[in-house]
Amino acid sequence: MSTCTLIPDWCRISEEATHSIEDYGRGVPRWCLGCGDHAILAAVQRYCRDEQLPLEKTVFVSGIGCSSRFPHYMETYGFHGIHGRPFPIAEGIKMVRPDLNVFVSTGDGDCCSIGTAHWIHAIRYNMDMTVLLHDNEIYGLTKKQASPTSPAGLKTNTTPRGSRLNPLNPLSATLGVANVSFVAQAVDWIPDLLHDIIRMASLHKGFSFIRVLQRCPAYLPTEFEAQTRNPERVLLLKHQDGLTLPPEIAQTYRNQEEHDPGDIHRAREIASASDPIPVGILYHNPAVPCYEDSVDRDRIDTAETTHAFLEQEMDKFTIWPTSSEARRA
């Protein structure tokens, strides 16, 4: 095993190669038939192929849940963490390795319940990563318990007579946090827009938050049924700085709004509406600084420079054997 010297920014130029969509996939996903996660995976792999993201320079991080199995199905680096904590793991990665493309897959329980503190602070850190909130409005993996995004009245195993609380709105919550820089909503049943939104999110430098409404046929088979059948119940957001709609889609989904992603007030209004479901870029502000950029990356630190500093630092605590040396220190 030979050791190569460390290049300060850890960059390695990957060899020119053309990756197909299949190259980005690993194994056979274990999700249920018809699960919206399949569509999200397909859209992500398609985006990776389009951008030819280097496999070794890309990391998918997740928590725990059906959706958090995501990294296992990508032939990139992956980190399948613990429930609710994908954000701090991804932050640690990005801080040490800003050269990596970092994606986070998280569920509505993972992000909006157990991981809420991390989610709110991740928005504020605004580190450059793309976040997919797989929002199926239910706990899938643990078999149908209410999630914070479950609609009021939803019958689940923990709310057999109907959920007693109004749902939390992840878009409104995100738009309310300091340093928010990119918020979008997609639905698993319009894969082309899902793909385009993922692309725009990835191009944004900062914390790009995409809530994907994801169907869970196993536990909520009818949850988005009406919306998938009736295009009128989807509102497409378009703008020259946001999504440009492919003609076929524009034809099917006639309910459209010209929305400037720079307009946070309108974004908040749109976020609060759920019928029709808004799809597109709600908010984009490229000017918010990223936490990882607050670190000086230009310096070169070696064992020698560190030890020179250590000697200098120890001088501050040192009593020298003679007092003339003390004066010198």
Partner 1 sequence: MGYGVWTVEIIPAEIQPPARSVAGASGNRIRFASNPVTNGGDAADLAVALNEQVLLERLGELKPGCMILLEDKWRTDPNPSIAAQYRKTYDELTESGFRLVEVPMEAECRKLVSDPRRGKNMFVLGLLCGIYAFDLQVAREQIAFIFATKPQAVIDANINLLEAGYAWTRANLEMRVNIPATKPTLPQLVLNGNSAIGLGIVASGMKACAMYPITPATSASHYLSEIFEQVGGFVHQAEDEIAACCFAIGASYAGGCAVTITSGPGYSLKQEAIGLAVMAEIPLVVVNVQRGGPSTGQPTKVEQGDLLATVFGCHGDAPKVVMAAASIEDCFYSMITARKIAETFNTVVVVLTDASIASAQTTIPRPQSDPAWHAPPLDQNPVAPGALRYDWDSETGLARRVIPGQPGGMHCVTGLAHDRRSRVAYDPRNNEEGLRNRSRKLITLQQTLRTPAVFGEESGDMLIVGWGSTKGAIEEAVRRVRAEGARVGALHLRFIQPMPPGIGEIIRRFKRVLVVENNWSDPVDGAGVTEDNRRFSNLAWLLRARYLVDADCWSEVMGQPIKPSTVVRIIRERLS
Ligand X SMILES: Cc1ncc(C[n+]2csc(CCOP(=O)(O)OP(=O)(O)O)c2C)c(N)n1
Binding site for ligand SF4 (CB under 6 A): 31-32, 35, 37, 66, 136, 140, 216-219
> Out of Mg ion, partner 1, ligand X, none, which partner does residue 97 contact, by CB within 5 to 8 A per kind?
partner 1
Nearest to 169 by CA among 214, 200, 135: 135
> Segment contacting partner 1 (CB under 8 A): 139-147, 153-161, 273-281, 302-310?
302-310
Interactions with ligand X, residue window 33-92 (CB under 6 A): 64-67, 83
**For 130, phi and psi rounded to 5 degrees?**
-110, 125
Q: Dihedral sign, CA of 40, 43, 46, 47?
A: negative
DSSP-derived 3-state class of residue 175: helix
> Segment contacting partner 1 (CB under 8 A): 143-151, 258-266, 275-283, 320-328?
320-328
Q: Which residues pair with 184 in a beta bridge?
A: 210, 281
The one-letter code for the residue type at 113 is S
Measured CA to CA in angstroms, residue 110 lies from 115, 135, 162, 203 at distances of 6, 10, 22, 25
Nearest CB to partner 1, comparing residues 87 and 182:
87
DSSP H or E run through 272? helix 264-272
Would you count residue 107 as binding ligand X (CB under 6 A)? Answer: yes
Measured CA to CA in angstroms, residue 94 lies from 99, 123, 198 at distances of 8, 14, 19
> Out of Mg ion, partner 1, ligand SF4, none, which partner does residue 328 contact, by CB within 5 to 8 A per kind?
none
Would you count residue 105 as binding ligand X (CB under 6 A)? Answer: no
Would you count residue 317 as binding partner 1 (CB under 8 A)? Answer: yes
Nearest CB to Mg ion, comparing residues 58 and 214:
214
The Cα 92–Cα 85 span in angstroms is 11
Q: Dihedral sign, CA of 282, 183, 53, 290?
A: positive
> Out of ligand X, Mg ion, partner 1, none, which partner does residue 314 contact, by CB within 5 to 8 A per kind?
partner 1
Would you count residue 108 as binding Mg ion (CB under 5 A)? Answer: yes
In the complex, the residues that contact ligand X under the rule CB under 6 A are 64-67, 83, 107-110, 134, 136, 138-142, 147
In the complex, the residues that contact partner 1 under the rule CB under 8 A are 1-6, 10, 12, 14-15, 26-27, 55-57, 59-61, 64, 71-72, 74-82, 85, 87-97, 99-100, 117-118, 120-121, 295-296, 299, 301, 303-307, 309-311, 313-314, 317-321, 323, 326-327
